[in-house]
A and B are shown apart, each in its own frame.
Chain A
Amino acid sequence: MPSAMDHRQAIETLALERYLLGEMAEEERDAFEEHFFSCAECAEDARAAGTMRDAVAGGMAGSAQQPAGRVLQMPATRRRLASVVVPWAAAASLALVAGYQGLVLRQGQKQLAAPIALSPVTLRPASRGQEPVVSATAGAVLTLAVDLGGGVTNGDIEYEIRHADGATIASDRVPAPKDGAPLLLLVPSSLFQPGQHYELLVKNMKNSGNAGLTPADYRFTVGAR
């Protein structure tokens, strides 16, 4: 008798993806099957995934006859992600200036008379590698570029920044970025403690229609000022 898997566990551990990749031990596999036979939401996802896998296995996503060199022509994901983020960030910098300006003007410090170049730190889902270190400068803002995976196209999303001890330091509901762009967040560095760990959670708003958003958390460390 496998130990039970609940819906939250299935979603948070990307159980269906691990199931499709054959990464589950027998007991966990049985537990997940027991779950998706009883959970309408996971069952629909599993049915779609099974259809997709069978279609691809049947050659409907292109055949193996394509030259092997094609694989090598595909840029590595790290580079591809960077190419999405960086040009967009560059193009968006002007728009960002407005956000930054608003922040500065609200503080009554000074008028913005020239463009400001921002250097966002790209955050990727927590499963990937080490935590990036984000440098905070006194009186400035942290600029975070959150890789959402390109699946969000409309509606709103919700983010929450938490300290490692679970305390929420910022949260909001914002329009989803368009066309695979990352979510860019400017956060006053005064909200962070240098040397501390934080996590950013991004999720769909209910009924937003953003089925493409990967529910994920993004962890980062704030460096010394």
Chain B
Amino acid sequence: MARLQFHEFDKAYVDRLVAGDPETERHFTRYFGDLMTLKLRSRLRSPAAIEDAKQETFVRVLTSLKRKRLATPETLGAFVNSTCNNVVFELYRSGARTSPLPEAYDEADERKPPADAAILASEQQGIVKAALDGLPEKDRDLLRWLFFEERDKDEICRTLNIDRGYLRVLLHRAKTRFRERFTDQRTG
């Protein structure tokens, strides 16, 4: 998650995007790229398939915007989301979903990113790592059980002697603390 300046999705933003303004394009791809990664994680198992779906969505959105501007620029987010839905639907229909995924899931995408993107990613990793290291141990344990070890959630609840509702609350707190520390690291 790169640090991004706040942008209103208004007519001026869409005009800059269509005109190829580099900063706006960078914001657009990072902002919606992150959201699409989150969304596509539950639908596509392969990082390469996720990346392909994102790129296809960006191309379609930009092509569409150049052909015909949005009547209401504020709906840009909804437009990106629906375009992404269409891309995923087409991937499903083309059978991409049935390709051998579990083996590919942990493999690195062999396509090399540009050098500046790699440096940014490296800096970003350091910030994320520092934010995670700054969390209380109980938060790190919970996050690791959920997202690394992918333990059964009912088992986690039994271990902690809590119900599923409270598991959500604990995750909410861990996420909030992460976000605070992440923001501090970036701005500090």
**A-side interface residues toward B, CB under 8 Å?**
14, 16-18, 20-23, 29-30, 33-34, 36-40, 43, 45-57, 59-64, 70-72, 74, 76-80, 124-125, 127-129, 149-151, 211-212, 214, 216
Contact = CB atoms under 8 A, between A and B. Distances in A.
The A interface is mostly helix, strand or loop, or mixed, namely helix
Given A43-B35, A62-B144, A212 B180 contact: yes
Contact of A61 (B38, B143, B161, B165): B143
A65 to B, nearest CB: 11
B179 A45 contact: yes
Given A38-B81, A60-B132, A211-B179, 8 more contacts: A20-B171, A51-B1, A56-B147, A64-B148, A76-B162, A80-B138, A149-B173, A212-B176
Contacts of A150: 136, 173
Interface of B: 1, 6, 31-32, 34-35, 37-39, 41-42, 75, 77-78, 80-81, 85, 125, 128-129, 131-132, 135-136, 138, 140-141, 143-149, 153, 159-173, 175-180, 182
A37 B77 contact: yes
Contacts of A59: 148
B143 A52 contact: yes
Contacts of A50: 1, 34-35, 37-38, 41
17 contacts: A14-B172, A17-B169, A33-B39, A37-B80, A47-B34, A50-B41, A51-B128, A55-B128, A56-B148, A60-B125, A62-B140, A71-B141, A77-B166, A78-B161, A125-B166, A128-B165, A151-B176
Contacts of A78: 161-162
B127 to A, nearest CB: 9
A152 B49 CA distance: 40
A53 B38 CA distance: 9
**5 tightest A-B CB contacts, nearest first:** A127-B165, A50-B38, A37-B81, A37-B77, A51-B1
Contacts of B35: 36-37, 43, 46-47, 50
